[in-house]
Amino acid sequence: MLELIFIGTGSAIESLNRFHSSFFIQTTKYNLLIDAGDGVSKALLKQKINYHSIDGIIFTHFHPDHFSGFGGLIIQMEFLQREKPLQIFTHYKLIPFVKDYLHLSYLFEKRISFDIEFIGFNHNETFSVCDDIQIKSKNNTHIDAYKKYDEDNKNYFSSSSFLFNLKDKKLFYTGDIASKDDLFLFYEEKFDYMITEITHISTEDILEAVKLLQPSKLYLTHISDDDGQKIEKIIYEISAFNVPTIEAVDGLKIII
Ligand SMILES: [Zn+2]
Ligand SMILES: [Zn+2]
C-alpha cells in the first residue's frame, strides 16, 4: 500500500475551509508527514490520522504555515506518551535552529518520552527515508529575497522542492516557490504526479511548465479562499495539454 493524503491545502492565509498545506505519505512500513504548519495537529485529527503513526516529518521551509505547528504536534505526541522515535528531516544546516526552537518551547530531549532523531539532507543528493521512499531536494528561490536580512551571516536560508521516488512512481512537489525556474528544477525527470502550489506563481508559468513537463497527473494546492477563478482558468487551459488536473482539497487521497 502506498497512499498520499492531503492534510491541508490552504495558503498562508487563515481559512475556515482549508488547513495550511501539508500532506502525508503512508507506506506499509513508514509514514512521512511533509510540513507541519500552524494547526497541523488539528488537521491530522480531522483526517483521523493517529499521531503515533507518524514516523517522520520533512520540512520544505520554515514559514509558519509550513513549520509552526511542529512544537504543538510534539506536545500531542508527548500527551499520548509516545515511545517510538520520531525522525526529522531538514536541510542539515538548519538542524541547530530546529533544536533551539524545541528548547525554547521547553521540549527538552531529556524531558519528552521519545527520541527525536535529526537527519540532515543536502540539496541535489538523493536520500532514503525507507525502502519505498527516496527523496531528492533542490533549493528553490522562495525565500531568496530574505537573504539581505541575514546580517550575522548565519546562512539559515533553505527552501526545498522535492522529487519523491515512491516505489516505481515519481512525484514532484514544488513546495512554496517564487519563480518560473523553480517549476523546472527537475526538468530532466518524467513525473507520474506533480503537486504545485499556486500562490506564488502565475497561471501562465504553471501552464508553460505543465505543457513542457507533461506530468501524468497534476494536483493544485496552497489555495486561498479567493483563488476560485485562478483554479478554474488553470484547469480549463490545461485541458488542452491532456494532463488531468485536480484541485486538491483537505482529505483528498491519491493511491500511488
Ligand atoms: Zn506557504
Ligand atoms: Zn512559504
Digit-by-digit pLDDT tens for the chain (256 residues) are 899 999 999 999 999 999 999 999 999 999 999 999 999 999 999 999 999 999 999 999 999 999 999 999 999 999 999 999 999 999 999 999 999 999 999 999 889 999 999 999 999 999 999 999 999 999 999 999 998 998 887 777 899 999 999 999 999 999 999 999 999 999 999 999 999 999 999 999 999 999 999 999 999 999 999 999 999 999 999 999 999 999 999 999 999 9
Q: 45-72 in b/e burial notation, b at 16+ Cβ within 10 A? A: eeeebebeebbbbbbbbbbebbbbbbbb
Long-range (24+ apart) CB contacts under 8 A made by 13-17 are 13/224, 13/225, 14/38, 15/224, 15/225, 17/225
pLDDT at 188 (0 to 100)? 96
Grid cell digits, residue 92: 542539515
Domains of the chain: 2-149+156-255 (3.60.15.10)
* Cα dist from 95 to 119, 171, 249, whole Å: 8, 25, 31
State the distance from the centre of ligand 2 to the C-alpha of 237, rounded, in angstroms. 26
The H-or-E segment that residue 53 falls in is: none
Residue type, 210: V
State the distance from the centre of ligand 1 to the C-alpha of 246, rounded, in angstroms. 19
State the distance from the centre of ligand 1 to the C-alpha of 81, rounded, in angstroms. 31
177 in Cβ contact with 205 (< 8 Å): no
State the distance from the centre of ligand 2 to the C-alpha of 63, rounded, in angstroms. 5
State the distance from the centre of ligand 1 to the C-alpha of 1, rounded, in angstroms. 29
The pTM (predicted TM-score) of the whole model is 0.97
State the distance from the centre of ligand 2 to the C-alpha of 226, rounded, in angstroms. 18
Grid cell digits, residue 135: 527523496
Ligand nearest to the CA of 177: 2
Average pLDDT of the chain?
96
State the distance from the centre of ligand 1 to the C-alpha of 202, rounded, in angstroms. 15
The C-alpha torsion from 124 through 223 and 105 to 147, rounded to 10°, is 50
How many Cβ atoms sit within 10 Å of the Cβ of residue 240?
9
Q: 161-191 in b/e burial notation, b at 16+ Cβ within 10 A? A: bbbbbbeebbbbbbbbbeeeebbebbeeeeb
Ligand nearest to the CA of 12: 1
Residues, Cβ < 5 Å to ion ligand 1: 12, 65, 176
Q: What does the pLDDT look like over 140-169, one tens digit per residue?
A: 999 999 989 988 877 778 999 999 999 999
pLDDT at 159 (0 to 100)? 97
* Residue for grid cell 507520474: 192
**Sign of torsion, CA 26 29 34 38?**
positive
* Cα dist from 133 to 3, 22, 122, 183, 195, whole Å: 12, 17, 16, 22, 17
Q: What does the pLDDT look like over 40-65, one tens digit per residue?
A: 999 999 999 999 999 999 999 999 99
174 in Cβ contact with 138 (< 8 Å): no
State the distance from the centre of ligand 2 to the C-alpha of 128, rounded, in angstroms. 25
